[in-house]
Amino acid sequence: MIEEVKYKERLLAIIIRANFEKDGIQFFTPDSYSQQLAYMKRPEGHIIEPHTHNEVKREIVLTQEVLFIKSGKVRVDYYTSDQHYFGSDILLPGDVILLADGGHGFKMIEESEIIEVKQGPYVEDKDKTRFVPVADELVKKRES
């Protein structure tokens, strides 16, 4: 239900499968991440007190993104920071993935709808280094 994608002990991604369920609240990310990811299941009548968020200056040096698979079937390919491919996973409707480090690419196995959340603003010419994706014949299931 929760999968950590690691390469040489470095956490690159966290997958929360659609069937994950737990009472209360659970954070999946350490406090040091600039993108925080949590799951909440609250009973009927539970109240989250009204609140505002205070202005707090933060320094972000690496973009982390969260993808919500709304429909379809998506293959995510994982790469190290130096663009070495090491495996892939299939994401299905309801799955959520936090991409925390390293590189990644995607192939739509079926027509897919994805909701993406990441820090902004997005700066096209500075935010990404693009590279050649893994060839389909070399794709392999990521080792757990």
CA distance 109 to 129: 24
Dihedral sign (CA 29, 123, 74, 68): positive
Q: Tell me which residues of the chain have a pLDDT lower than 70.
A: none
pLDDT of 107 reads: 98
pLDDT score of 144: 76
Q: What is the pLDDT of residue 120?
A: 81
pLDDT of 124: 77
Would you state the pLDDT for residue 61?
82
| pLDDT confidence of residue 99 | 97
Phi, psi of 59 (to 5 degrees): -105, 125
DSSP 125: H
Q: What tokens does 38 get?
A: 């949590």
What does the alpha-carbon distance between residue 80 and residue 130 come to, in Å, rounded to a whole number? 13
Question: What is the per-residue pLDDT for 126?
Answer: 82
Question: In terms of DSSP H, where are the helices of 37-128?
Answer: 124-127
pLDDT of residue 40: 96
